[in-house]
């Protein structure tokens, strides 16, 4: 399997559709890379990924708002087309299998509740990574060391 992983910000609010009785959450993620060219000039390159998250659980949708930082992974697909100017272009798409909200609540998300959906696992299994499904709005991913057992019998 080819897998694509992206960390970036949503370009617009997500759209939830129902296609043939199945739910799909559509959103776009932008990842901006900043670098210096050979002449030392600051450059910026933004990559857009159009995402489709097929899932029975759409509770995360209200939190997928423009500007929200997310981590998404899934199967990539590239599609070529001819744009309005007649130039050949390509679109990068991803069928999302896992998505996580990163960072705290955005300023534009309005007040109100203190809970948010944090992470959804493989949409085919319908499992929620976070067993309770909710957590505080300032979600931080656990460090890998937090899940490792402590072993005092190490030889060094």
- Per-residue model confidence (pLDDT) at position 106: 53
Task: Report the Cα 30 to chain-centroid distance in Å.
Answer: 10
CA atoms of 5 and 29, how far apart (whole Å): 11
Tell me whether residue 152 is in a domain: no
Least confident range from 47-51, 71-75, 102-106: namely 102-106
Flag the least confident range among 74-83, 101-110, 115-124, 143-152: 115-124
What pLDDT sits at residue 115?
A: 33
Which of 139, 104, 105 lies closest to 119 in space, CA to CA? Answer: 139
Q: Look up the CATH number of the domain holding residue 134.
A: 2.40.50.140
pLDDT at residue 152, rounded to an integer: 52
Annotate 130-156 with b (16+ C-beta within 10 A) or e (fewer).
eeebebebebeeeeeeeeeeeeeeeee
Q: Does residue 156 fall inside a structural domain?
A: no
**pLDDT for residue 141 is more than 90:** no
User: What pLDDT is recorded for position 57?
Assistant: 87
Q: Does the pLDDT value for residue 124 go beyond 90?
A: no
Please check whether residue 108 lies inside any domain of the structure.
yes
Of the ranges 9-23, 43-57, 139-153, which one carries the lowest mean pLDDT score? 139-153
153 is a domain residue: no
Is 39 part of any domain? yes
Which residue in the block uniquely carries the two structure tokens 């957590």? 135
pTM, rounded to two decimals: 0.63
Instruction: Please give the tally of structural domains in the chain.
Output: 1
- Residues 141-154, mean pLDDT to the nearest whole number: 47
Range of the domain at 88: 4-147
Query: Model confidence over 24-48: pLDDT tens digits?
Result: 999 999 999 999 999 999 999 999 9
User: Considering the chain, what is the average pLDDT of its residues?
Assistant: 75
Residue 15, pLDDT > 50, answer yes
Q: Flag whether 82 is in a domain.
A: yes
Closest CA to 72 of 26, 133, 22, 135: 26
């Amino acid at each position: 399997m080819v897998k694509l992983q992206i960390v970036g910000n949503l370009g617009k609010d997500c759209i939830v559709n129902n296609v043939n009785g199945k739910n799909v959450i559509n959103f776009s993620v932008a990842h901006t890379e900043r670098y210096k060219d050979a002449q030392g000039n600051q450059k910026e390159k933004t990559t857009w990924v159009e995402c489709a998250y097929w899932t029975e659980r759409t509770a995360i949708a209200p939190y997928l708002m423009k500007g929200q930082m997310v981590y998404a992974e899934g199967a990539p697909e590239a599609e070529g087309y001819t744009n309005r100017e007649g130039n050949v272009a390509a679109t990068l798409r991803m069928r999302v299998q896992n998505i996580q909200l990163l960072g705290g609540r955005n300023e534009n998300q309005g007040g109100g509740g203190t809970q948010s959906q944090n992470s959804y696992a493989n949409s085919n299994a319908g499992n929620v990574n976070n067993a309770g499904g909710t957590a505080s709005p300032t979600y931080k991913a656990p460090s890998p060391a937090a899940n490792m057992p402590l072993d005092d019998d190490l030889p060094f």
